[in-house]
Amino acid sequence: MGEIRPHSRLIGRRLILRRVKELARQIEQDYQGKHPLLLGALKGSFVFLADLVRQLRMPVEVDFIGAASYGHRTASSGEVNIYHEPRLPIGGRHVILVEDIVDTGATLAQVVRYLQGKKPASLRICALLRKMKPGQHEVEVHYLGFQVPDQFLVGYGLDCQEQFRHLPDIWTVKGVEP
């Protein structure tokens, strides 16, 4: 494997922000009179979540959940564990799980099962990106930013071996074996 570096800009910061604003308008409409709990999936969602909450003109609470596929590989392994539980109670809350990217959907499927077990009043998923690929777990994403090709992406919170989360745009990378 060669040196990993951003290769081409797939989604620019202005387009991202425009889409985030649209998602915020949808969420405001759907949660009128409610006080949802936005649960950011660590770590990749932190930039998206920060932008999203600042576009919401409604009271929300924020917490985080840590769920990870095992290993440091760029291909998702299918096994997931919850390494950080939310600190706020989930029971009876209107929960919006905020994800950076749905790849195989294995992480999401596992987290949804875990959260359903906590008996939220409702549970919806907001993901910035979803890869178009066959065999993806069938998890409904209620609020989706962009469908993206099945390539490894970095920036705007997404990492490759913990690098490139800080980049304001979303990039494809070179030097990664799928």
Catalytic residues: 103
**Residue 51 or 100 with smaller CB distance to Mg ion:** 100
**Residue 31 or 107 with smaller CB distance to Mg ion:** 107
SS3 of the chain: helix, strand, coil, percent, to 5? 20, 35, 45
Of residues 28-57, which lie at the interface with Mg ion (CB under 5 A)? 44
The dihedral built from the CA positions of residue 10, 159, 43 and 54, taken in this order, carries a sign that is: negative
Question: Residue 127 binds what, of ligand IMP, Mg ion, none (CB under 5 to 8 Å, by partner type)?
Answer: none
Sheet containing strand 153-154, strands side by side: 5-11, 170-174, 153-154
**Residue 23 or 154 with smaller CB distance to ligand IMP:** 154
Question: Residue 152 binds what, of ligand IMP, Mg ion, none (CB under 5 to 8 Å, by partner type)?
Answer: ligand IMP
What is the smallest separation between the CB atom of 27 and Mg ion, expressed in angstroms? 20
Residues 47 and 166: their CA atoms lie apart, in Å, by 9
Question: Residue 128 binds what, of ligand IMP, Mg ion, none (CB under 5 to 8 Å, by partner type)?
Answer: none
What is the smallest separation between the CB atom of 92 and Mg ion, expressed in angstroms? 26
Of residues 60-119, which lie at the interface with Mg ion (CB under 5 A)? 100
Residues that bind ligand IMP (CB under 6 A): 41, 44, 69, 76, 99-108, 152-154, 158-159
Q: Is there a contact between 82 and 65 (Cβ–Cβ < 8 Å)?
A: yes
Question: Residue 105 binds what, of Mg ion, ligand IMP, none (CB under 5 to 8 Å, by partner type)?
Answer: ligand IMP
Catalogue the long-range contacts made by 102-105 (C-beta closer than 8 Å, 24 or more residues apart). Answer: 102/127, 102/129, 102/130, 102/131, 102/136, 102/139, 102/141, 103/76, 103/131, 103/133, 103/136, 104/76, 104/78, 104/133, 104/135, 104/136, 104/137, 105/136, 105/137, 105/138, 105/139
What is the smallest separation between the CB atom of 42 and Mg ion, expressed in angstroms? 7
What is the smallest separation between the CB atom of 99 and ligand IMP, expressed in angstroms? 6
Footprint of Mg ion (CB under 5 A): 44, 100
